Amino acid sequence: MRLVTYTPEHFPLVARLAASARGARSLGHRPFVDHYYASRDWCRLLLAFDRRGEVSGAIGIEEIPFEHAGRPLTLACGSNLVAVQPGTGGLLFWHWVRSHDLTCVFGGGAETHRLTERQRWTYFHGIRTLRLNRPYVVRAGDAWWRAAAKRVAAALPGVDVARRARAVAGAVEAIEEPEATEDMLPATTPFTFRMRPTVAYLNWRYGTGLSFVRYRCFRLRTERTRGYVIVNDKPDAILVAQADADDPALLAAGILAAVGRVAAEGGARREVLLTCAHAEMLAALRAFGFRPDPGERRLAIGSARGTVDLPADTSRWLINFDWIDNGLRAPFRDQTDP
């Protein structure tokens, strides 16, 4: 079995894999695959070729710049691990782990976590997914009382996010920009762990001109620029994709201001979704009306060295939802195929 890095001429083979592998629909959409996996050195798609010359599996690997306690570190984060032949998934997994010092899964499916748990990756706790205007969908297996409760909840009026945000954002302005600029990156940080991207990385990963997703970039300003918020503006939901600032309370207010701006333009009662671990920000967001999902969002880090040198306390970490491909899932904005 050969391992080959994806280039655009491989797309027809990858599309066949996407059509035959469960959960691989995103790999069938060429604008996403070519941009995310073949336009910059930060991210690539590793393909496993069988003896017939067909692609029997794939794994995406994005090298994301982070910082812990002032120390830079790069996490090689996995995405779209799929396989249609026995043994292929394990081969791709081991290549990913052994070729990087630190590897990471944020979210991820049950099969991936079976592998990481078996290899005793370090799990970090306290990361919550928060939602506002959660949709309540009655499913076929719901008990009668659960179905009834969902119907009642769905009939209640949702929160007008724009109106509520105007009331609480205070002196923080969220000013929309065509792209991120150097002065929007905080020079200092109150967070013990955060993504620390360059402007070039932000404008690649969260580009505002992409066809398959609509990212919107906001400058956070009081008397000066304090940080930024990038929103994934979906037809049915508003995702807080990536955000950072030099103060946690200000960042929480800035997130609300940016979300309010997006909600004011249409779908004011759309679902709003983000992740958070920072204690002060969690309190502010819950006071606004966000409610956590049951359980935690799983973040696991593995090390080729065998140890992960990060403290367990995440209460001062800055965790954003749309890392790796968490906000880049089919169906995409420009996708018309079934």
- Domain segments of the chain as ranges: 2-124, 128-294
DSSP single-letter state for residue 310? -
More confident residue, 234 or 149: 234
> Per the structure block, which two tokens stand in for 4?
């080959």
**Residues in CB range of 136: below 8 A, 6 or more apart:** 150, 151, 153, 154
| 85-112 mean pLDDT | 92
Count of other CB atoms within 10 angstroms of residue 76 = 18
Q: Which pLDDT does position 143 carry in this prediction?
A: 58
> Hey, how many other C-beta atoms are within 10 angstroms of the C-beta on 303?
17
Give the position of tokens 């309540």: 136
* Matching fold, domains 2-124 and 128-294: yes
Closest CA to 289 of 171, 173, 167, 161: 161
Write out the CATH class of domain 2-124: alpha beta
How far is Cα 93 from Cα 89, in angstroms, rounded to an integer? 6
Supply the pTM of this predicted model.
0.90
Would you tell me which CATH number, out of the four given (3.40.630.30, 3.30.1600.10, 3.75.10.20, 3.30.160.40), belongs to the domain 128-294? 3.40.630.30
pLDDT 10s digits, 176-228: 999 999 999 999 999 999 999 999 999 999 999 999 999 999 999 999 999 99
**Could you tell me the pLDDT band of residue 164, with boundaries at 50, 70 and 90?**
confident
Average pLDDT over residues 134-144: 57
Task: Answer whether 277's CB lies under 8 Å from 129's CB.
Answer: no
Helix%, strand%, coil% for the chain, nearest 5: 30, 30, 40
Q: How far apart are CA 116 and CA 265, in angstroms?
A: 42
Which pLDDT tens digit goes with each residue over 16-75?
999 999 889 999 999 999 999 999 999 999 999 999 999 999 999 999 999 999 999 999
pLDDT at 257: 92
pLDDT of residue 269: 76
- pLDDT of res. 141: 65
More confident residue, 72 or 139: 72
